[in-house]
Amino acid sequence: MEAYNSQVNQRIATIASHLNPSNHSQTDGLLGLERGNCRAKGGSTGFKMAILGAAGGIGQPLAMLMKMNPLVSVLHLYDVVNTPGVTADISHMDTGAVVRGFLGQQQLEEALIGMDLVIIPAGVPRKPGMTRDDLFNINAGIVKTLCEGIAKCCPKAIVNLISNPVNSTVPIAAEVFKKAGTFDPKRLLGVTMLDVVRANTFVAEVLGLEPREVDVPVVGGHAGVTILPLLSQVKPPCSFTQKEIDYLTDRIQNGGTEVVEAKAGAGSATLSMAYAAVKFADACLRGLRGDAGIVECAYVASHVTELPFFASKVRLGRSGVEEIQPLGPLNEYERVGLEKAKKELAASIQKGISFFNK
């Protein structure tokens, strides 16, 4: 009977550590179970990651999909509202990652300590008629606060930044890390994977191919004309008419607006963004594991152009970005598009830096 009671207490403590991380010191002391020792079977060899903004439209499906990733051993879910419910829900999934929830600013640091990867989808979504710049003042402040926590609690973590406008929030994050003395350009990545996912999908539709067989490099930034699909470099090699190039470029650049308008006030691209974020996070985790040949597009501190930040293909590894690849040969249409992209991108980068310095 005593052994049975011990097993029951152990199970109760395990559940408590998942759902009430802020109470772990009391519970663990009573039941002799350290929360840090709670590990789902098979999960202990993976990485620790946190999602900041886990209760939002992107955060919830992102958290669910990351719970399914065998490379994740510990999954911390942070938000200013609703994380207890999201945590309880996702923690019931029978996969290896141990899920813990953190609610409110007072628990941000606890959510971040010891993390290998931090994904930030936090912020307000776009609504009809809004541009990504309309989101700027709200989301810029949120990103600044969260990155201050990262600089303090897990300065060596890989940071995947989703919060829009990415063209400006990544420079803000860089300035926060520089001020804290923790900036490592290899470890700060703006997530532009949704542009690549859309490009692969739309090009596959035109060519009549399976989307997963298509690879379209998308460079520049993550808004409007700064999104530059390099259709001359599509794999498998193919050719397009000028009409197809115009159609594809426009649709890829305005894919976000297409979703915002279709949702008619009910939000922006959340499900496809979560899918793209997970695809990119998985690439980062495989890089951390030491897998070779992991190449994806991302918006990073870069010398590919004269701009301080630019999205292009990067090779991922144990330290984050291990190589920034050149743009490769561009045709005339792409060269014109690049100049347009750089002009707008320069203003967005400066906007982020000015926000930090004001």
Q: Annotated catalytic sites, by residue?
A: 222
78: enclosing H helix or E strand:
strand 72-79
- 8 A C-beta contact, residue 228 and residue 337: yes
The answer to whether the bond into 236 is cis (omega within 30° of 0) is yes
Q: Give CA–CA dist 340/221, Å, rounded.
A: 11
Cβ-based neighbours of 69, under 8 Å, separated by 6 or more: 97, 278, 281, 282, 285
Q: Would you list the DSSP string of 244-309? A: HHHHHHHHHHTHHHHHHHHHTTS-SS-HHHHHHHHHHHHHHHHHHHT-S-EEEEEEEE-SSSSSSE
312: enclosing H helix or E strand:
strand 309-317
- 8 A C-beta contact, residue 178 and residue 137: no
HSE-up (13 A, CA, CB side) for residue 147: 33
Q: Give CA–CA dist 170/150, Å, rounded.
A: 14
DSSP alpha helices (H): ranges in the chain? 2-19, 24-31, 59-67, 83-91, 108-112, 136-153, 166-180, 193-207, 242-253, 255-263, 271-289, 332-357
Structure tokens given for 229 = 């699909």
322: enclosing H helix or E strand:
strand 320-324
Question: Which residue do the tokens 């609504």 mark?
Answer: 127
Q: Within 10 Å of residue 306's Cβ, how many Cβ atoms?
A: 8
